[in-house]
Structure 1
């Protein structure tokens, strides 16, 4: 047999995603290139690795065994790379971070300098909603989680990074007279919510309930970007994290509606299980955060202060 590491990587991802298209997207390859490599890999085995039923790709039982073996080989190759860096006196390893969806506007700034300093460190960052972030943390699938509200049922440690503030926002279509009504706007216009499990949705729902607002209509969207575009289009109002709407406020596509009891203020925190045995890389990252977080916040997020009404 004469298969290559490249073919093992491709087949491992195909077995994981069950899709040529998603494999091509993740590995930054064309679909024909992935298909060719799959065929070349398959030609080295007399037993089918995959099959097509309808238009769906399935991995055979034999294919799953080969995928499992491929993963072990790739893990060993990765370990060799890390050991090589360590032998040279360089920090090496991997950091896995699960990030609440709005945290994608925050976490890269706290990672960039650390990653640039340590070329032997690999990063896997999963961006999802709070429920899935907490689940990943609970199952010990990640080193760290970035969240704005700590889980009540888990014993965790955390490092506070910066404030997370949520404001009521509307599109530029709102007139001066409409804005003057403030609280009445919440009963006159539809409210755009994130999906179940989102920390932003929970904060918004708690605010509406606490203040006894009678919502005329609810619209649910499954990402912060979708909510933002819907508000810009005039579909309704929403309570949104300030961190995710900087450019839209600057362009005046969105506007903040000052209202009592807002903003809702929480803290972005890097969190990990108290029982977690941190790797040298994970500990080095925490040390970096403690030393640099104030400078990073000042350099990249000082603009937030201008929205304190």
Structure 2
């Protein structure tokens, strides 16, 4: 037997994704490169690791056992690497953060320098909607979560990072020159919502309900980027977080329409389960944020404060 850690890593990813294509995407490799490594690994075993039915790949029972063993081996390798770094006096381990989709425009600025200071640190950021974020937090699968709407059913602690502002946004098809419009303007516009489970969706819906807004035409899309592109294309209007439309405003692809009662404001907060026993990596990151967050906001989000 002469298989490599790289082959085990690739095979484990194939087993997890049930797809050579998806494994290649997640590993940032070409599909042929992944297929070659799978073939080279298979040549070392008389028992098939996979089988192809139609155009879909399936992992055999033996393949599943190998994938489980590969995961254990790779975890041990990571542990050795962490211990090596620790003996050198470097911060090691994994830092896991779950981020609501719009938070992808926020979190990198608060974490990049910290990760850059600690070469032995492994970072994992999962970007999903609010429902998925809170599920991973509740299951204790992550160290922290970034949200703009605090959960009411979890016992948490928090660190506020940045104000969140949501404005009515439209494309350039129509012009809006008034200093401010009444909320009744929303009754005349086709409105694009995020999917259920999204924090932005919840914030929009609460605003509509509170102000008795009756939607002329309602559409629903499943990501902030999809909503943004639909608005640019003239399909409708949406109440969107300012943090995610900086480039589109600068490029004049989108316009903010001033409406009474807007922007809706909330706070981007890093949250964690109360009483959680933080790892050294998580503890150091929390201290870093407490010490540096004001400097980060001032240096990275100065444009944001002008709105």
Normalising by structure 1, what TM-score? 0.96
Give the number of equivalent residue pairs.
307
Distance change in 2, residues 1:178/1:53 (3 Å): farther
- Corresponding residue number in structure 2 for 1:237: 237
Question: Following superposition of structure 1 onto structure 2, how do residues 68-147 of structure 1 map, counting pairs within 5 Å?
Answer: 68-147=68-147
Cα displacement (A) at 1:281: 0.6
SS of residue paired to 1:191 = strand
Residue in 1 aligned with 2:50? 50
Q: Aligned equivalents of 2:204 and 2:170: distance in 1?
A: 15
| Paired residue secondary structure (2:167) | strand
DSSP 3-state at the match of 1:207:
helix
- How big is the shift at 1:183? 3.1
Mapped to 2, the partners of 1:241 and 1:195 lie a distance apart of: 15
The SS at the match of 1:153 is: coil
1:183 alignment partner in structure 2:
183
Distance (whole Å) between structure 1 residues aligned to residue 262 and residue 97 of structure 2: 30
Aligned-pair distance for 1:184?
Answer: 4.0
Aligned equivalents of 1:193, 1:272: Cα separation in 2: 28
Q: Secondary structure at the match of 1:218?
A: strand
CA–CA distance in 1 between the matches of 2:58 and 2:176? 58
Quick one: structure 1 residues 11 and 298, their matched pair in 2 at CA, closer, same or farther if it must change by over 3 Å? same
Partners of 2:255 and 2:71 in 1: CA distance: 49
Structure 2: gaps (5+ residues): none
* SS of corresponding position for 2:302: helix
1:27 counterpart residue number? 27
Shift of 1:304: 1.6
| Per-residue Cα deviation, 1:83-105 (whole angstroms, up to 9, x for no partner) | 00000011111101100000000
Q: Within 1, Cα distance between the matches of 2:133 and 2:281?
A: 21
Q: Distance in 2 between matches of 1:179 and 1:12?
A: 58
Structure 1 residues 20 and 179: alpha-carbon distance in aligned structure 2, compared to 1, 3 A threshold: farther
Matched residue, 1:7: 7
Summarize deviations over 1:213-242 as a string: whole Å, max 9, x none: 110111111110110111111111100000
Are 1:287 and 2:275 an aligned pair?
A: no
Q: Which whole-Å CA distance do the structure 1 matches of 2:12 and 2:3 have between them? A: 13
Aligned equivalents of 1:190, 1:74: Cα separation in 2: 51
Q: Contact (CA 8 Å) 1:178, 1:185: kept in 2 or not?
A: no
The alpha carbon displacement at 1:250 in A equals 1.3
Cα distance in structure 2, aligned partners of 1:213 and 1:267: 24
State the 1:173 CA deviation: 1.3
Q: Contact between 2:187 and 2:215, CA under 8 Å: does it hold in 1?
A: yes
Alignment of 1:263-282 (within 5 A): 263-282=263-282
8 Å contact 2:181–2:258 — kept in the other structure?
no
Q: Is the 8 A contact 2:181 2:260 kept in 1?
A: no
Return closer, same or farther for 1:90/1:180 CA change in 2, 3 Å cut-off: closer
Which secondary structure does the structure 2 equivalent of 1:111 belong to? helix
Residue aligned with 1:99, SS: strand
Answer yes or no: is the 8 Å Cα contact 2:95–2:124 preserved in 1.
Answer: yes
